[in-house]
Amino acid sequence: MLKPHDDSKACLTAFVQDNTLTVVIEMSLASWLVAGTIPGVDREPRKKIGPDPEVLLQLLYRWRDEAIKVGKEITRIAVAYETRTPNFHIATANRWSNCGPARSIG
C-alpha cells in the first residue's frame, strides 16, 4: 500500500540559480572543504578552512559580495554538507551551540 505524499516539508519557492549562492561543505573534525557556485562569476571557488562557523559565515558573505560586485542580487544561500565522521554531529552540535540562532542574509 502506498503512503500518501507529504508536501508539508516541500520548498514552495523555485530554485533560481541567478540569485542563489550554492555551497557544499565536506566536514570533518579537523577541517571543512567549502566549494560553491557564485552567480555572475566564472570561477567555482574552493576553500579549506578550520571547523569554525564564524569563518564559514565570513567566507559565504565574501562570495556573496563577489556576486554583488558583478551586478547579481543574492537573495538566498543554499548549503549542503557531508560529514566523514560518525560522531561528528555530536561534536559539531556542542561547538555550534554557542553561536546563537540561525542568521538570515540581507
Q: Which three cell numbers stand for residue 89?
A: 554531529
Cα 92 to Cα 79: distance, rounded to the nearest angstrom? 16
Mean pLDDT of all residues in 24-47: 93
> Residues 50, 31: contact at Cβ < 8 Å?
yes
The pLDDT > 70 percentage for the chain reads 78
Cα 32 to Cα 99: distance, rounded to the nearest angstrom? 17
Q: What is the pLDDT of residues 56-87, one digit of tens each?
A: 999 999 999 999 999 999 999 999 988 876 65
Mean pLDDT of all residues in 38-62: 94
The pLDDT > 90 percentage for the chain reads 50
How high is the mean pLDDT of the chain? 81
**What pLDDT is recorded for position 10?**
73
Cα 78 to Cα 87: distance, rounded to the nearest angstrom? 24
